[in-house]
Amino acid sequence: MTTTEFLSSLKSRGAIIYPPATKRDIELSNNALQSRRCAMFPAVLIELYRFASAINIGNGYIFSPIEIPRDARFPIPSIMDINMPLGNIPALRGKTVFGRNDLFWFAFDAFGTFYMLDNLNLRILRKYDDPYRAMYDCLIAGKF
């Protein structure tokens, strides 16, 4: 699957896709993640951010390198806003949370492996070979 196919599939399901992130925003977020000893963005997420800075379906979110304002509602927090308070949790060492829905958190590690995490104790529930499948599960579960 390619990024454009992935985004097209999500649009057909009613996803809100926010404008692309700038190269500078991606680099600044990557540097901030590295300084916090979190995993840096894998190539697939950098590619996604070139087309969409954040994605939302119902209660499912893929977080952006920058905070995304939304009308009078709460903004979509940046990936750094999400990961800063989680940095001291042992289960998340070396991982970066990139998305969530009402049931699960989603993260990746420094090797570009994606994970579904338990919402309460952040234990790994599923390891993904396909990053698009992880992102899809994150967003589609938020719709229901």
Calpha distance 106→97 (Å, rounded): 6
CATH code of 3-65+73-141, in short, is: 3.40.1580.10
For the chain, what are the domain ranges?
A: 3-65+73-141
Question: Structure pTM?
Answer: 0.90
Q: How many CB atoms lie within 10 A of CB 110?
A: 14
Q: What is the mean pLDDT of residues 121-131?
A: 93
- The three-state secondary structure class of 72 is coil
Whether 143 has a pLDDT exceeding 70, the answer reads no
How far does Cα 97 stand from its chain's mean position?
Answer: 6
